[in-house]
Chains A and B, each alone.
Chain A
Amino acid sequence: MAMSFQKPWFLARARRRFAMTRECALLLPRVCAALADPRQPGSDDTCLEKLLDWFQELTLFDSTVQLVQDNPCLTEFITSVLALPEPSPSILSFTLRLAGILAASENRFQHLQQEKLLARLFGRDGPPNSAVWEDASVRSGWVQGVHNMMHHQPALHLLCSGGGIDVIFTLQGDPSLFVASAASQLLVHMLTLSVESETTKPLSTKDCDWPACAQMIIKRIEDSLQSSSASHIEQSLKLLTSLFGSCRATWTEVLWLGVAKQIESFLTEETVQVQHMLANLLLNMAWSPVFRDTEGSFWALVTSALEHLTPVQAGPLAVGILRLYKCPQDVRIQALTVLLQPMDCILRAASQPLEYAGLLDESVSDPVTVESLLSSRSSCANLLCQTLAHLEQLLSLSRLPVDLPYTSLLRSLMTILQFCNGFLSPASPLGSTISRILINCFRVQRSALDVLAALSERKGSDTLIGSLFDLLLAYLESPNTSPTVLKKTFQATSKWLVRLQELSCSNSQGQQTEKILEDVFLVLQKRLCSPCWEVRDSSLEFLTVLIKCLRDQDEFRQSLLSSEVPRLTENLLEDPESYVRASAVTAVGHLAFITYFAPESPVVGNQYNKENTVAKLQEILSTDPEGFPRRAVISIFIKWLRQGCTGQLEDTEQFVSRVIQTVEHDLDWEVRLGGLELIEVFCSQTICQLGLPQCPYAPVSSAVTSSIHWNESLQVFCRAKLFSFLFRSLCDCDKPVGQRACDVLLGLKSNFYPVSTLEGSQGTGDSAVGHGIAWLQRTLRQGSLAQNFPTDGSNGVDFQDPENMMLALGAVELEELHDELNRSSDHVEKSPQSLLQDILATVGTIEENEADCY
């Protein structure tokens, strides 16, 4: 019996998309001839890149020689470029990469080698020996070409026997970073390929029988590690780092044992400065089970590195270790010491004699180096920013493998922030030096505030909450706080206010909370009037976040409503800056949840008038010259509708209808999209409210009642004038609008036409209505073309008539349209055929100076 297996659907689709069609096969020879013609001006780089992308995709699922056999122009192209006395660098680079892609399968490799093409491209006497090698794009093309090809043993042998390894090792030190990095990656790939495809028996330390190619590479690594050249050592360390990062096979340990001693010596070596490379190497090893699970020597080396590297070098290693779940306890403590040392020093420098417990046990810490770094102007901010970034990284993990001393950490953070705004000038010499260095240092302020925000989610740092808010309020008030620092302060404050609320719920800290909230709103009032738009905007965003998190808390609502903040926020609806207007819309929209929409609204009197606010937002929606505020309004309306704040069904119907008529002509397609979302929510709510459509499998008797419900909903939708907008949107020149409209209509169709009833309702008859629908159908079919949807009503479709619309829903082939709309709008232009045509069309037409800016 013949075996058949199905490839996954996505492979099949990929094959179809990138297949060599007849049209492409006809165009390809002319394209190849044009590219190889030195008289033609160079093709656009992006064209060549995209051409390579296409070949990559063509060959990915096909290892046969069919492609090169059916298209001999490809081999001819390579041959003719090789024959050029002075090929242009970009064409040569393209040829090298193309040849590599084609030679990725062994079959095609052999095919190309029949004419020794690959040997001529990648061998000893190829491009590395010619004048064009000077050009970085040729070197880059050569490395990429080799990498593309390197998937089988013949390719390995071609390189190893042709002197290619030497070239690649040299390229590791290339002046172009792109080439150097690609060369290093290539060596890792070749080493892995060689060991994994050519090893016949398992490798062991005693009997180390590496395959020939691997042997060559390893020998070069060992030699360069023993050389006195720092750059050679660095290259080899980089190579090993990416090898251990990408390959987790056991043979990597055998390789490591051969170089371990040498690398260990670099930790203490003073003549060769490569210590900064070691942290990354060890970190990648620690993540590999090959090394992580070993006892003893590897972890001893990590400990030694944590001791010997400078605090800045050891930082990344320490934080990486602390993220590991599996790691010896003593190494973890050592890493924690490295990480916390600067924070500990800050604490100690601030108070003398120490009033509080430090972060670290004095017996484990050796603060001399860190103290000297912190007291130097050039290194202090750097070390602190790095430490703070690492702490933030750790705190952002949902599960921390290690316990941090949160209270002391918070105290230390507060000390840093106090140093930065000059609130603390300690008596100790170290403290006063640090405070002088840190004053007004925005970088450190930003980093410290980030950690502060992250710390709010950790329990155990609550005793300091009072003084913490003093500090935050001082930052919020100070005119010296820069807009970016202010934004971070707002973020930290909102997080800690949430924490404060949680605490006041469990304790009886109500009074403290009230006082803090009052102070926060006082400051916010001032900030909302700032001349700087960034500050006004961040203040509004802060207010919105607070309302979102705390709107259920009485204390919060009362403090907010008794302040001037709501009035000022409404004023900002008329801000000259559109970003601010948009944020004000969002804030006002959220404020409404505690003023008009809350069932137990504490508002008395006419201070907050719902109609006024809605009218104001409506006005913004119809008249604001910029998209942001209009988009904000439609989002708020959607939010209100979702939360059922727009009143009874009748009110809601009018509201939605009004909004839709405003947005359907909006120039900003995202506003129109918002309108469609509003319709979607409204429809599903209406259908829910008037009764869900019946289950198609329900007994027949219920069909009568359910059809009444459908009619009712349908009438509501027609009255609200939703359908003309929905159908017109199918032809919108901005594709996402069409997609959304189609989704909504499909949703409605499935509601009104359960599967069982669909078949019978398709006929549109010969009536006037029928003609109208046929017209609609035709228009929509051409509609993905950019015809404007005529709306003059002369076509016989009444979009407000339920019967008409019921028929339209049934008859229009929405599913087909849906598929059409879901294809990206540039799928034609993106096709290989279009690319080939474009390359051919540009031949000979490129004029001088077409280079231009956007």
Chain B
Amino acid sequence: LVFLLLGPGAGQDVGRSCILVSIAGKNVMLDCGMHMGYNDDRRFPDFSYITQNGRLTDFLDCVIISHFHLDHCGALPYFSEMVGYDGPIYMTHPTKAICPILLEDYRKITVDKKGETNFFTSQMIKDCMKKVVAVHLHQTVQVDEELEIKAYYAGHVLGAAMFQIKVGCESVVYTGDYNMTPDRHLGAAWIDKCRPDLLISESTYATTIRDSKRCRERDFLKKVHETVERGGKVLIPVFALGRAQELCILLETFWERMNLKAPIYFSTGLTEKANHYYKLFITWTNQKIRKTFVQRNMFEFKHIKAFDRAFADNPGPMVVFATPGMLHAGQSLQIFRKWAGNEKNMVIMPGYCVQGTVGHKILSGQRKLEMEGRQILEVKMQVEYMSFSAHADAKGIMQLIRQAEPRNVLLVHGEAKKMEFLKQKIEQEFHVSCYMPANGETTTIFTNPSIPVDISLGLLKRETAIGLLPDVKKPKLMHGTLIMKDNSFRLVSPEQALKELGLAEHQLRFTCRVHIQDPRKEHETVLRVYNHLKGVLKDYSVQHLPDGSITVESILIQATAHSEDQGTKVLLVSWTYQDEELGSYLTSLLKKGLPQSTS
């Protein structure tokens, strides 16, 4: 089993997840993420490291995408349409539906902001999605005759899945991002006790026990409420899908409960589609949402309405969700510029921002921003950061390991120092090896595959004829010839093998010379050896043949005088492989010399 990480940078970096696993001769790429912090080649993984020889389509057996976040799927259209991978891609149904929306959203922002041309196009996103095979949870998908995959629920975001990859009796589980505690709209991750050879787990929050999400949500609502009460405006920059829906539910219920009147807007025109998908994939959400769905669809919002550009100038309080989430272009940046000067207003950043974006600047406390045309924008509005991301914390990771019972664990997506602590904990508690390779590093893990072998009836009958009935508790030795042909293994009797393969039998004998100090004549030495062996090997048939040699089962012993020293006799011992143990026992016995008493 070989594992190669092409993915995230070290440290607190939202990198590119891209992992290559070679398992029993099959090569699978897990996730194909992009790095938003760069706008050159560095934003995509360097796929040239996957194989030096040959095409990627021939080398890879399949690609699996765990969920729709761009750090897990953002490089996919580049990989399939620009690098030229033409093979199958697997993801769950919701991921297949939502992934192109996010890719399209990101493409538009990228092309819009930088006027880039060397980026994938809408057509490429579509062509890429056409290559995707969607899978259901717990459905075993046969990629080819040997390779099979199976998806498990991962929580985290709608449609997120952990994947089990299996070839023969070897298997790997890749978690992607997951969450072990249910949240407002999603359930907790769950997996079989599938005992994989390797569990690849994310470890973003490797050493933290996170404060309760409820607290963060309360905090969020309080801040929004206070701002609106004092007549201020709240801007929440988001990406089209995911976090946005979660916060919408949160605000909607709060508005309903508190009977608030301030308008809430969603700016992208994507809400409808997003909500459509949340409705469509209702089975992927948590129990509470599913239950209430019968009475009222939680994604049909009463208070949240579509935003028009002119609304930004309206007086009075309001809450606006606008894209993109890092305030680096488009609608959200435009609204931010309008509202930034008023201390009554507030911007809440619910996600990570990369360096260079306005979002990053205001989060790091910068209040005077240079804008285009040497204009300085003074930020007087309040700035808040709130992370709602749903990753498993240390407790959750341990819980998953307990569930799956892997033989090895490999941690990715985390900071080395923090991972080290978790690694030790895992090794102590579960007594399994835990790895944490750096980016670009390969890790080789040896498995003990048990390979099924068919045994011929003839051979079995022969064994039972000897009188030994099969017994589960007593493994027994069986002699036969192993035929490996067309990926199947069969154990047959040597005679049958010879017949099947049309070969003649050759006898192979092992030989060994033992020197014995004995001045007597050769036939006398032989006699002494014969008597000695007869005395020691009482259960065996020891024979003295007329030609002067001795046999014990298949073992043959002959004696000659040493050509230079007549006082030394050379015993030539030879045996076949069937009597290997006896043969070596005999030679070691003879090497000790002959007992005096028999002389």
A: which residues have CB within 8 A of B? 42, 44-47, 49-50, 89-90, 135-137, 140, 175-179, 181, 276, 279-280, 316, 376-378, 382, 385-386, 389, 442-443, 446, 483-484, 487, 534, 537-538, 579, 625-628, 631, 667-670, 733-736, 739, 784-786, 788, 820, 823-830, 834-835, 837-838, 841-842, 845-846, 848-854
Contacts and interface: CB of A to CB of B under 8 A. Distances in A.
Contacts of A825: 112-114, 329, 372
B112 A851 contact: no
Q: Which 6 A-B pairs have the closest CB atoms?
A: A178-B440, A46-B37, A841-B364, A852-B352, A786-B334, A136-B438
B366 A835 contact: no
Contact of A484 (B4, B131, B366, B370): B131
A177 B389 contact: no
A493 B4 CA distance: 40
Contact of B364 (A534, A824, A826, A838): A838
Given A46-B37, A442-B88, 15 more contacts: A136-B438, A136-B440, A175-B437, A178-B440, A378-B25, A483-B130, A733-B333, A785-B337, A785-B372, A788-B309, A834-B370, A838-B366, A849-B387, A851-B12, A851-B414
A825 B329 CA distance: 8
B126 interface: yes
Contact of B441 (A175, A487, A828): A175
Interface string B158-189: 00000000000000000001000000000000
A50 B14 contact: no
Contact of A628 (B25, B122, B360): B122
Given A135-B438, A733-B333, A828-B371, A46 B13 contact: yes
Contacts of B37: 44-46
30 contacts: A45-B10, A175-B437, A176-B440, A177-B440, A316-B54, A378-B487, A385-B58, A386-B58, A484-B130, A628-B122, A668-B108, A669-B108, A734-B330, A785-B375, A786-B334, A823-B372, A824-B114, A826-B329, A827-B372, A837-B366, A838-B355, A849-B205, A850-B387, A851-B12, A852-B204, A852-B389, A853-B14, A853-B177, A854-B36, A854-B71
A825 B116 CA distance: 11
B458 interface: no
Contacts of B13: 44-46, 851
| Chain A CB within 10 A, most for which of B11, B111, B113, B437 | B11
Given A177-B440, A446-B86, A625-B272, A854 B10 contact: no
A45 B356 contact: no
A45 B53 CA distance: 31
Contacts of B177: 853
Contacts of B387: 849-850, 852
Nearest to A739: B115
A89 B360 CA distance: 24
B130 A177 contact: no
A447 to B, nearest CB: 8
Contacts of A851: 12-14, 204-205, 352, 414-415
B503 to A, nearest CB: 19
A794 to B, nearest CB: 15
Contacts of B208: 848-849
Contact of B130 (A136, A386, A487, A850): A487
Contacts of A835: 355-356
Nearest to A386: B58
Interface string B11-25: 111100000000001
A44 B352 CA distance: 12
A179 B441 CA distance: 9
B113 A854 contact: no
Contacts, number: 224
Given A46-B37, A484-B130, A175 B370 contact: no
Nearest to A670: B108
B439 A733 contact: no
B455 interface: no
A736 B375 contact: no
B575 interface: no
Contacts of A378: 25, 487
B115 A736 contact: yes
Nearest to A238: B52
B569 to A, nearest CB: 41
Contacts of B131: 484
Contacts of A537: 126, 130
B69 A854 contact: yes
A483 to B, nearest CB: 6
B130 A538 contact: yes
A846 B364 CA distance: 8
B358 A829 contact: yes
A71 B42 CA distance: 29
Contacts of A631: 122
Contacts of B331: 733
Given A386-B54, A625-B273, A784-B373, A44 B12 contact: yes
B365 interface: yes
Nearest to A783: B373
A534 B130 contact: yes
B361 interface: yes
B480 interface: no
Contact of B487 (A377, A667, A784): A377
B354 interface: yes
Given A386-B58, A389-B55, A786-B333, A49 B42 contact: yes
Contacts of B365: 841, 845
Contacts of A175: 437, 441-442
Contacts of B268: 667
Contact of B328 (A47, A179, A823, A826): A826
Q: Which of B145, B387, B487 has the most CB of A within 10 A?
A: B387
A834 B356 contact: yes
B357 interface: yes
A631 B439 CA distance: 40
Contact of B10 (A90, A668, A784): A90
A854 B33 CA distance: 11
B265 interface: no
Contacts of B72: 853
Contacts of A850: 12, 352, 387
Contacts of A386: 54-55, 58
B226 to A, nearest CB: 22
B446 interface: no
B416 interface: yes
Contacts of B552: none
B130 A854 contact: no
B181 to A, nearest CB: 16
Interface string B342-358: 00000000011011111
B293 interface: no
A829 B366 CA distance: 13
Interface in B95-154: 104, 108, 111-115, 122, 126, 129-131, 145
Contacts of A443: 57, 87
B501 interface: no
Nearest to B177: A853
B325 interface: yes
B372 A828 contact: yes
